[in-house]
């Protein structure tokens, strides 16, 4: 018997991690050659060239210089770096982070944050499932980029 879940596209995870941020953590400017999904259990301050917002979850485009800082409350932050080898998502400094609002994201991220360290880093299937769950957000982003061109 075979059971399979099709993602509908090919993706690769580049990194996954979690950190406890102090309420006044200043954050550090950085960028990645891959997309990043951020999720926090309390708002963080996400800043990039041309903008800033308080958010709990966002998709940060590849190549965008950004900073994640504390926003007045301590929090736990989950971050997952990923890419689509076929280049199906845009990248570059002209793009802005996309807010993500999905009930399934909250539940899945909470579960990942609660895992012991060894289990967290072995949870590749759960991480891929989490990325697949935000597929609709990827599609909305791609449509918005196409309209802007």
Q: Is pLDDT at 68 greater than 90 in this prediction?
A: yes
3-class secondary structure per residue, the chain: CCCCCCCCCCCEEEEEEEEEECCCCCCCCECCCCEEEEEEEEEEEEEECCEEEEEEEEEECECCCEEEEECCCCEEEEEEEEECCCCCCCECCCCCCEECCCHHHHHHHHHHHHCCHHHHHHCHHHHHHHHHHCHHHHHHHHHHHHHHC
Of 29-38, 62-71, 107-116, which range is least confident?
107-116
What is the token pair recorded at 102? 């999905």
The yes-or-no verdict on residue 17 having pLDDT over 60 is yes
Give whichever of 17-31, 94-108, 125-139 has the largest mean pLDDT.
17-31
Q: State how beta strands 35-48 and 51-60 pair.
A: antiparallel
Residue 100 has pLDDT above 50, yes or no: yes
Neighbours of 33 (CB within 10 A): 10
Say yes or no to pLDDT of 2 above 60.
Answer: no
Tokens of 2: 């075979």
On whether the CB atoms of residues 55 and 44 are closer than 8 A, the answer is yes
pTM for the whole thing? 0.78
Rounded distance between C-alpha atoms, residue 42 and residue 77, angstroms: 8
For residue 1, the model assigns a pLDDT of 47
Q: Which residues contact 119 (CB under 8 A, 6 or more apart)?
A: none
């Amino acid at each position: 018997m075979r059971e399979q879940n099709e993602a509908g596209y090919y993706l690769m995870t580049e990194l996954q991690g979690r950190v406890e941020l102090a309420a006044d953590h200043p954050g550090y400017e950085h960028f990645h050659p891959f997309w990043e999904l951020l999720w926090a259990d309390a708002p963080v301050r996400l800043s990039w060239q041309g903008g800033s917002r308080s958010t709990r979850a966002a998709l940060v485009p590849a190549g965008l210089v950004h900073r994640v800082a504390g926003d007045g409350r301590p929090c736990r932050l989950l971050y997952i770096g990923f890419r689509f080898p076929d280049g199906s998502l845009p990248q570059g400094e002209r793009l802005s982070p996309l807010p993500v609002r999905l009930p399934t994201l909250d539940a899945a991220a909470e579960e990942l944050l609660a895992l012991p360290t060894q289990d967290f880093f072995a949870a590749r299937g759960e991480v891929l499932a989490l990325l697949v769950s935000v597929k609709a957000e990827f599609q909305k982003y791609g449509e918005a980029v196409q309209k802007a061109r």
